[in-house]
Amino acid sequence: MNITVVGIGYVGLVTSVCLANIGHKVICYDISKEKISKLKKLNSPIYEPGIEELLIKNKDRLFFTTDVHKAFKNSKVVIIAVGTPENEDGSTNLKYLNETIKIFSENINNDCVLVIKSTVPIGTNDLIEEILKNDNNIKYKISVVSNPEFLSQGTAIKDTLNASRIVIGANDVKSMNIIKKMYLPLSKEPYNVPIVTMERRSAELVKYSSNCFLAMKISYINEIANLCEKVDANIHNVVKGMKYDSRIGDKFLEAGIGYGGSCFPKDTKALYKFSVDNNCELKLVKSTIDVNRKQKILLLDKLEKNEVCLKNKTIAILGLTFKANTDDIRESPANYIVPELLKKKCFVNVYDPVGLNNFRKYIDDNFKQNNIKYFTNIDSAINNADYALIINDWDIIKNYKLSKYVSLMKKPVIYDGRNLYNIEEIKKYNIEYYPIGINVKRNDLNV
């Protein structure tokens, strides 16, 4: 099948390489010449494990272009995967989507199915179809299908090829069957991905409902973790006792310093705003947002509670991206904690395996600071530091030798936002340790 993917960002590129991997010819269109130039050399513009291997493997079925005329030529399916960022009020910004629809309507030259993979408010697919039907310049039959994505950064290839489900929302049988046929290889061995079909509005709401539910689980277990610290319970044991209930499970029950990235923060705010605008306020979603906002600065709150004055202290920040295995710093706790430390006249050393450049740009674009240093290894970042704050769960941080905190820091004091270290192991060293959801008393650690 000839397929065009418009918007070769995170979702668009992963979708393109995976569709090519199951046998389709895919034209990848983007307005960024720099991005397309990289891709023509089989270099990925994003960090995602496994993506460059698939680029190389499927190079004969992938075509990259900034030429809009070539992009839509003879494609049976056009997939739109452009960004839908949030407005200041939390609503969804459809600027890029609207611009893309205009480009599509001016250049399509055959009957096709237009697939909206971008996350959009409920009813957007209906509006797009109405706009296209009323466009007198379009002489072809265009049907619109909702096909939300459920990718997690760091595991996006697996999440596509071995997806939990593929959701297709269509209001006519013909376009539904075309998209089912497009995904047919994934429904068979060795993938066996379930294909779930429904009407468009329900498909649009599935994406928001799923992400908000997962975000709610994260905020809930973080609330329980905070209570654990107050009553001398252990969050690890609480979760251990919860997860055996199959109705609860063990996913998204790891206590920490909140969710981030490009999806959960945006989607929770968008669904809440949409619910208010439709006179059906989702109060649980609002609470999820509020809890997460406070959780992101929890390490800073703990640090300030234990230290009278932070001025001139050297603080090492380990991990800058919102989670491991991505270079995405959007809504990372580091974005909130580091600027506050700089305001307090601290000296801040930051480390991340792949996120340094993105974080440096974020700081340079938003803050005028000289008290921050960037390091490519943990040893240098914590050397002679007063405190170490762990922001995400990269394996390199998780497997870092505890003895090095003792030998390199002024005095080993760790605030662990991801509970990476075993308490019994910590007890073997002269380390002051503050995890999430465990009230580790200093005398318990022989400090």
Catalytic residue list = 263
φ and ψ of 14, to 5 deg:
-60, -45
Angular region, 155: left φ>0, alpha ψ -120 to 50, beta rest: alpha
CA atoms within 13 A on the CB side of 430: 6
Amino acid at 113: V
Residue 354 vs residues 2, 6, 180, 318, 321: alpha-carbon distances, Å? 35, 27, 37, 12, 8
Amino acid at 86: E
Q: 189 in helix, strand or coil? A: coil
What stretch of H or E contains 301? Answer: helix 298-306
User: If you search the block for the tokens 């065009």, which residue do you land on?
Assistant: 4
d(CA 235, CA 224): 7
Cβ 25 vs Cβ 3: under 8 Å: yes
Tokens coding 322 = 């919102």
Edge-to-edge strand list for the sheet holding 387-390 = 372-375, 347-351, 314-318, 387-390, 413-416, 432-434
φ and ψ of 387, to 5 deg:
-140, 150
